[in-house]
């Protein structure tokens, strides 16, 4: 179903034209934004209570914990890995790694990422979900 909103105009409400124009201005902008959003333009960063973080590191014990500051100052509900590249070999992971993490002082602290090759450089993207 395609959404085709029509705009509100003061011409349609002649007896309220003195005050209704300002209302219609805001209402038409809002409906335009909603239609644009539903046209596949919703983004995680701008529209959802989530964020995507990307971390690059060498997988060795001395490089843990990995830390990053969160966008929101609340305890995340979860972290989902959505991308994992072994930069050393140039291969993408075909398995989802298990991430051991905690939250403290506005930061996510990752103490371990399982199933990775030691001494390889990795890039991981995490979807951080808030409640």
Cα 56 to Cα 87: distance, rounded to the nearest angstrom: 9
Same domain for 82 and 29: no
Same domain for 113 and 59: yes
Q: What is the pLDDT of residues 46-89, one digit of tens each?
A: 878 999 999 999 999 999 999 999 999 999 999 999 999 999 99
Same domain for 9 and 60: no
Same domain for 59 and 117: yes
Give the structural domain span for 7: 1-42
Same domain for 57 and 13: no
Backbone φ and ψ of 45, nearest 5°: -65, -40
Q: What is the pLDDT of residues 81-130, one digit of tens each?
A: 999 999 999 999 888 899 999 999 999 999 999 999 999 999 999 999 99
Q: What is the pTM of this model?
A: 0.72
Contact assessment for residue 112 and residue 105, using Cβ atoms and an 8 Å cutoff: no
Same domain for 59 and 29: no
- Alpha helices in the chain, H assignment, sequence order: 17-38, 44-47
Cα 124 to Cα 59: distance, rounded to the nearest angstrom: 11
Enter the tokens of residue 21.
Answer: 């124009």
């Amino acid at each position: 179903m395609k959404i085709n909103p029509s705009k509100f105009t003061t011409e349609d409400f002649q007896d309220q034209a003195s005050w209704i124009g300002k209302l219609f201005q805001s209402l038409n902008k809002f409906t335009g934004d909603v239609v644009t959003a539903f046209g596949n333009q919703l983004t995680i960063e701008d529209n959802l209570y989530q964020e995507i973080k990307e971390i690059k590191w060498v997988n060795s014990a001395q490089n843990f914990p990995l830390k990053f500051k969160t966008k929101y100052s609340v305890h995340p509900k979860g972290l989902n890995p959505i991308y994992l590249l072994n930069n050393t070999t140039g291969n993408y992971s075909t398995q989802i790694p298990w991430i051991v993490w905690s939250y403290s002082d506005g930061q996510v602290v990752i103490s371990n990422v399982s199933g990775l090759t030691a001494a390889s450089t990795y890039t991981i993207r995490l979807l951080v979900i808030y409640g």
